[in-house]
């Protein structure tokens, strides 16, 4: 019994070369990942501000509070939001390909399944959109765990998770 494999060519307009589209998305997600790594320098500086060096010895500053996680991390994670929105912009490219480049819109309108046109235009961009947002969210969870690990408990402001969502939403 043969296994049926999902072909990406069934998710894009007929004849559409999706390789450059996926390659561009990989580059922009890679750029978002590299941008997010600069958060660690901001984390190091924020942690360094919690301590004072006196005669070569690090002493905690009494009453010092670590910067909020959400305000610290959002500028570095915004690249994933931009990449996800950019992935959605390919919906327009797919519709344009049907109308202008291949003129396959006439064939698509004659198909018995009226949704075939929309499935071929929306499936790959929506899948990439969801994958990028999921990757960004998983990375955000990892960064949150690192934030909690490196911040001393006495310097941690309460309700960091709620503050993060107030920054995002």
Nearest residue to 19 (alpha-carbon basis) of 10, 9, 5, 28: 9
Answer whether 119's CB lies under 8 Å from 14's CB.
no
Predicted local confidence at residue 80, as pLDDT:
96
Q: How many angstroms separate the CA atoms of 71 and 76, rounded? A: 10
pLDDT tens-digit readout, 3-36: 555 687 788 888 888 889 999 999 999 999 999 9
Q: Which two tokens mark 137?
A: 């969210």
Whether pLDDT at 146 is above 70: yes
pLDDT tens-digit readout, 56-101: 788 888 888 999 998 899 899 999 999 999 999 999 999 998 888 7
pLDDT greater at residue 143 or residue 157: 143
pLDDT tens-digit readout, 128-137: 999 999 999 9
Predicted local confidence at residue 110, as pLDDT:
84
Whether pLDDT at 1 is above 60: no
Predicted local confidence at residue 20, as pLDDT:
92
Q: What angle do CA 90, 128, 7 make, to 5 degrees?
A: 90
Q: Cβ neighbours of residue 127 under 8 Å, at least 6 residues apart?
A: 11
Predicted local confidence at residue 6, as pLDDT:
61
For tokens 């490219």, the residue is 93
Q: Of how many residues is the chain composed?
A: 169
Give the range with max mean pLDDT: 95-109, 117-131, 151-165.
Answer: 117-131
Domain locations in the chain as residue ranges:
16-168
Nearest residue to 151 (alpha-carbon basis) of 31, 51, 39: 51
């Amino acid at each position: 019994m043969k296994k049926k494999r999902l072909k990406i060519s069934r998710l894009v307009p007929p004849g559409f070369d999706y390789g450059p589209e996926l390659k561009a998305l990989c580059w922009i997600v890679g750029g978002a990942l590299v941008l997010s790594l600069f958060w660690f320098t901001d984390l190091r500086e924020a942690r360094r501000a919690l301590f004072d060096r006196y005669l070569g010895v690090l002493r905690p500053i009494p009453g010092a509070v670590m910067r909020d996680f959400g305000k610290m991390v959002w500028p570095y994670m915004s690249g994933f939001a931009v990449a996800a929105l950019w992935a959605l912009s390919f919906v327009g490219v797919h519709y344009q390909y049907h109308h202008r480049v291949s003129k396959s819109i006439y064939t698509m309108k004659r198909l018995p399944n009226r949704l075939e046109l929309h499935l071929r235009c929306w499936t790959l961009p929506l899948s990439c959109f969801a994958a990028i947002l999921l990757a960004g969210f998983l990375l955000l969870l990892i960064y949150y765990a690192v934030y909690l690990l490196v911040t001393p408990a006495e310097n941690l402001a309460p309700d960091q998770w709620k503050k993060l969502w107030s920054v995002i939403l």
